[in-house]
Each structure stands twice: as structure tokens, then as C-alpha cells.
């Protein structure tokens, strides 16, 4: 057997009730994939699954907190039992707790690390042995441009997303020898609830949803449906670092090739955030 792209494949997606996860689920179904949607917001995930089934696709939803490894393993095992395979594991769930480091509580660090990093390692642990045993599979871990280029005022988020991109690149080397693919998905500004705090995250103190939306509007966030379409095209090609929209690759290379220039621009951006929060 070999991986299917994407017709008649099986995919498990975390954080699939809204945003990028929802868009990936719908686009995967459009391409013929059986989709297992997992999320803490189970009612919303069930609505998405029902929408997919109504249009002739194959999908079901399961409630999941990605910090619960045992439940994650149960959901993955169920998908394999029902379909006989696991082609894709999208470790997508994530939160953003914004703010300056001196405003953080230890709980902010712990929550961010638990969801954004431990949630990914739980997903990898739950699927990797199955993929190795069957000789194929593709793990797609949602990092961020903040996992390739440091993001001030989002320090905990950037910390975890750098860890996810590092995990993905390191595992890709090892996994390739066993027939398993690994990619890091690195979105730029995408029009999702995360930009304005999301359900479980938090904006920096002094910034409300309206201010956050105005800040991101200058970067022209990509419609999430367009993002999913382009990202999955790159998953199909087994791209290691999937940077979408493509123009964000320029920012990545500025950081790689000219740290000083990046640092200068980063301080300017931080100044804008500080003015928004009226912090001096």
C-alpha cells in the first residue's frame, strides 16, 4: 500500500471546528478524503462534519482536548479501524496568548506549551507507529510564520511554534527512511478567529478585537478557503516547509540572511503594538 493523494485517503485533523482546521477538512473532503474532525468545540465540529456528509463526503467528529494523549490515541485507532488506514495526521490545534513577557502569568506559558506543543507531540505519538507499520503516511504540523521568524508581543506563541517547526524538520529526516512524510505548515496572516484572539486565546492587554482586526487588515489576511486549497497542493507535493501566502517567504529569508535588518523592522512593529496598548 502507499499514501493516497487525496482520493480515498483517511485524515485526522485537530482543531477542526473553525479556522484553518475547518477549511482543511472541507477541502480534503472535496478532494475525496475521509475526514475525522476533532475539537474541544464539538458542536461546531459536528456541524462541519454534517455539512461534509450532506454534500456526499465521508466525515465524523469527535470531542478532543489535544492535551489528552489517551483520547487522541483512541481517536486515531478508531479512524484506522473504520477505514483500514491513516494517510494524514494534521496536528493543527493551537491558541495564541498575546502580551509582553512581564505581563505573563506562569499559567499563560503552561497553557500555550500544553496546547501548541504538547498537543502536537501527542498527535505525532498517536499516529507515527501506525504510519511506520503500514509503510506510509504524512504528518502535517501547523506551525506558523511565528515559528520561522520570531514575533515580539507573542513570545509564548512564537516559542511553541519554533518548537513545532523544529520538531517537524528533525522528524522528517528520520521518518523519510520509514516511508513517512512530515511537513510544517507555516501560515502567514490568514483570515481566521486566531487573529482576534480566538475562543481560548487572549490578545495583549489594551488591544480589543477591533484594534486587532485593524492591525491585521494592513497585511491583507488571506481567505482561509484559499489558504487550504494552496496548502493542500503543497502537501500533495510533500513540501517540507509550507509557507502560504508565498510572499511571506521573503520575510523568512530576510530573517535568515540579514538578522540586523529583521531586528530593525521587528522593533518598529513592536513599537506599533506598544502604541496600540498605550504602553511606553
CA distance readout (Å), 30 to 8, 34, 56, 232: 11, 10, 9, 11
Residue predicted with more confidence, 79 or 222: 79
Quick check: is 270 in a domain? no
Quick check: is 109 in a domain? yes
Q: Where are the beta strands (DSSP E) in the chain?
A: 10-14, 34-39, 59-63, 88-91, 137-142, 180-187, 190-191, 222-223, 241-244
CATH of residue 71's domain is 3.40.50.720
pLDDT score of 110 more than 60:
yes
Quick check: is 265 in a domain? no
pLDDT in tens, 175-222: 999 999 999 999 998 987 776 666 776 777 766 666 666 665 666 788
Domain that holds residue 109: 10-250
pLDDT score of 82 more than 70:
yes
pLDDT score of 163 more than 60:
yes
Query: What is the pLDDT at residue 21?
Result: 97
Given 88, 128, 157, 215, the catalytic residue: 157
Quick check: is 264 in a domain? no
Query: What is the pLDDT at residue 207?
Result: 64
Query: What is the pLDDT at residue 267?
Result: 76
Distance CA 29, CA 278 (A): 45
Query: What is the pLDDT at residue 17?
Result: 97
Establish whether 200 is a catalytic residue: no
pLDDT in tens, 111-157: 999 999 999 999 999 999 999 999 999 999 999 999 999 887 789 99
Distance CA 156, CA 173 (A): 27
Quick check: is 88 in a domain? yes
Cβ(62)–Cβ(12) below 8 Å: no
SS3 label, residue 13? strand
Residue predicted with more confidence, 78 or 265: 78
Number of structural domains in the chain = 1
All residues at 6 or more sequence positions from 181 whose CB lies less than 8 Å from its CB, including other chains? 3, 137, 138, 139, 172, 175, 238
Mean pLDDT of 94-105: 88
pLDDT in tens, 256-276: 888 888 788 777 777 777 676
Query: What is the pLDDT at residue 157?
Result: 93
pLDDT score of 228 more than 60:
yes
Quick check: is 255 in a domain? no
Quick check: is 158 in a domain? yes
pLDDT in tens, 4-63: 999 999 999 999 999 999 999 999 999 999 999 999 999 999 999 999 999 999 999 999
Quick check: is 159 in a domain? yes
Element holding 253 (H helix, E strand): helix 248-257
Amino acid at each position: 500500500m502507499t499514501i493516497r493523494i487525496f482520493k480515498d485517503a483517511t485524515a485526522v485533523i485537530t482543531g477542526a471546528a473553525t479556522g484553518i482546521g475547518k477549511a482543511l477538512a472541507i477541502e480534503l473532503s472535496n478532494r475525496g478524503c475521509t475526514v475525522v474532525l476533532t475539537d474541544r468545540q464539538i458542536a461546531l465540529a459536528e456541524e462541519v462534519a454534517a455539512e461534509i456528509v450532506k454534500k456526499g463526503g465521508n466525515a465524523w467528529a469527535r470531542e478532543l482536548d489535544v492535551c489528552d494523549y489517551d483520547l487522541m490515541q483512541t481517536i486515531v485507532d478508531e479512524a484506522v479501524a473504520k477505514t483500514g488506514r491513516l494517510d494524514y495526521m494534521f496536528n493543527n490545534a493551537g491558541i495564541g496568548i498575546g502580551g509582553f513577557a512581564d505581563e505573563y502569568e506562569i499559567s499563560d506559558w503552561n497553557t500555550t506549551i500544553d496546547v501548541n506543543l504538547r498537543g502536537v507531540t501527542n498527535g505525532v505519538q498517536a499516529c507515527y507507529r501506525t504510519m511506520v507499520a503500514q509503510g506510509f503516511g504524512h504528518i502535517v504540523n501547523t506551525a506558523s510564520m511565528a515559528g520561522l521568524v520570531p514575533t515580539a508581543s507573542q513570545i509564548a506563541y512564537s516559542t511553541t511554534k519554533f518548537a513545532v517547526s523544529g520538531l517537524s524538520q528533525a522528524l522528517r529526516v528520520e521518518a523519510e527512511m520509514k516511508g513517512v512524510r512530515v511537513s510544517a505548515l507555516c501560515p502567514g496572516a490568514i483570515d481566521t478567529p486566531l487573529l482576534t484572539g480566538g475562543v481560548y486565546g487572549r490578545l495583549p492587554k489594551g488591544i480589543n478585537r477591533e484594534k486587532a482586526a485593524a492591525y491585521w487588515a494592513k497585511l491583507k489576511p488571506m481567505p482561509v478557503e484559499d489558504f487550504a486549497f494552496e496548502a493542500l497542493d503543497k502537501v500533495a507535493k510533500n513540501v517540507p516547509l509550507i509557507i502560504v501566502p508565498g510572499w511571506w517567504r521573503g520575510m523568512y529569508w530576510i530573517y535568515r540572511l540579514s538578522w540586523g535588518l529583521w531586528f530593525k523592522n521587528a522593533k518598529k512593529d513592536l513599537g506599533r503594538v506598544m502604541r496600540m496598548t498605550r504602553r511606553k
